[in-house]
């Protein structure tokens, strides 16, 4: 952050979000006519679009800061000195985790004014912004934990980063493909039974979506009393994945220390 290029990424990040705002506003008010979308409709659409676009951008950036945290120590031959220092393995993990997450959280905080622009149009309140921000933090913490595990399991940063990106794609894209593919088969086999809600879908079909970060974000838009069980289930899954990644990372650090 002391260098000029340290502000390049935040500037580009905010530029992309601002472009999304301009595009959505143009689509709603000019392309479709001002009478078709007014007030709260514009606010809700802007908020949802920005929330999903923000999550997608941060998911692309998170592996860059976490997957190379430990491998770069190995590549620069500073890992043995780090392992023989007075720091314990949990302290090493915590330092790497916080350093990899802080810059992502900085981007998230910088985007809050853009996300709050929906207040000017109505339809969105502070609860929606707070809930979406908290959910995004949990998702990014989980991705950072997975990136640190990959960084401890591989010797080179490029391999750790590639596996972390593959994990993010599997959680975001593969789970959605599995869900919609199996849902289409289930719907074709049970035609004539009327429309089904989310909890009317069999658990084995909707189970992959609890790993999907975009579904997790979608569940956070519900009112406070309706967060259970969808949001809480997703939160438990992501916290569980993070905890498993932490345990496996500490195990790998212990093996490196013994070696």
Supply the DSSP symbol for 172: I
In contact, 59 and 213? CB cutoff 8 Å: yes
> Could you tell me the mean pLDDT of each successive run of 10 residues in the chain, 259 residues long?
77 91 83 59 87 94 92 88 89 94 91 81 84 95 96 92 96 95 86 68 91 95 86 96 96 84
In contact, 10 and 106? CB cutoff 8 Å: yes
Question: If DSSP states are collapsed to H, E and C, what string results for 203-257?
Answer: HHHHHHHHHCHHHHHHHCCCCHHHCCCHHHHHHHHHHHHHHHHHHHHHHHHHHHH
pLDDT at 152: 93
Phi, psi of 234 (to 5 degrees): -65, -40
pLDDT at 194: 53
Sequence-distant (6+) residues with CB within 8 A of 87 are 95
C-alpha 63/C-alpha 18 separation (Å) is 23
pLDDT at 192: 57
pLDDT at 122: 77
pLDDT at 84: 85
């Amino acid at each position: 952050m002391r260098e000029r290029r340290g502000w390049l990424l935040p500037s580009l990040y905010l530029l992309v979000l601002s472009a999304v705002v301009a595009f959505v506003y143009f689509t709603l008010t000019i392309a479709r006519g001002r009478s078709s979308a007014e007030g709260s409709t514009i606010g809700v659409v802007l908020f949802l679009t920005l929330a999903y676009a923000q999550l997608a951008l941060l998911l692309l950036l998170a592996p860059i800061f976490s997957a190379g945290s430990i491998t770069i120590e190995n590549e620069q031959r500073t890992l043995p000195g780090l392992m023989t220092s007075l720091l314990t393995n949990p302290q090493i993990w915590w330092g790497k985790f916080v350093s990899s997450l802080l810059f992502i959280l900085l981007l998230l905080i910088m985007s809050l004014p853009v996300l709050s622009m929906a207040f000017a149009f109505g339809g969105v309140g502070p609860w929606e912004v707070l809930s979406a921000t908290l959910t995004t933090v949990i998702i990014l913490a989980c991705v950072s934990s997975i990136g640190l595990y990959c960084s401890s399991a591989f010797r080179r940063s490029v391999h750790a980063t590639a596996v972390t990106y593959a994990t993010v794609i599997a959680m975001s894209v593969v789970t959605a493909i599995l869900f919609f593919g199996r849902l289409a088969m289930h719907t074709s086999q049970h035609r004539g039974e009327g429309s089904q809600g989310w909890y009317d879908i069999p658990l084995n079909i909707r189970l992959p979506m609890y790993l999907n970060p975009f579904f997790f974000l979608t569940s956070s838009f519900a009112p406070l009393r309706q967060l259970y069980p969808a949001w809480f289930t997703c939160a438990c899954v992501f916290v569980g994945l993070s905890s498993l990644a932490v345990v496996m990372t500490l195990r790998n650090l212990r093996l490196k220390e013994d070696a």
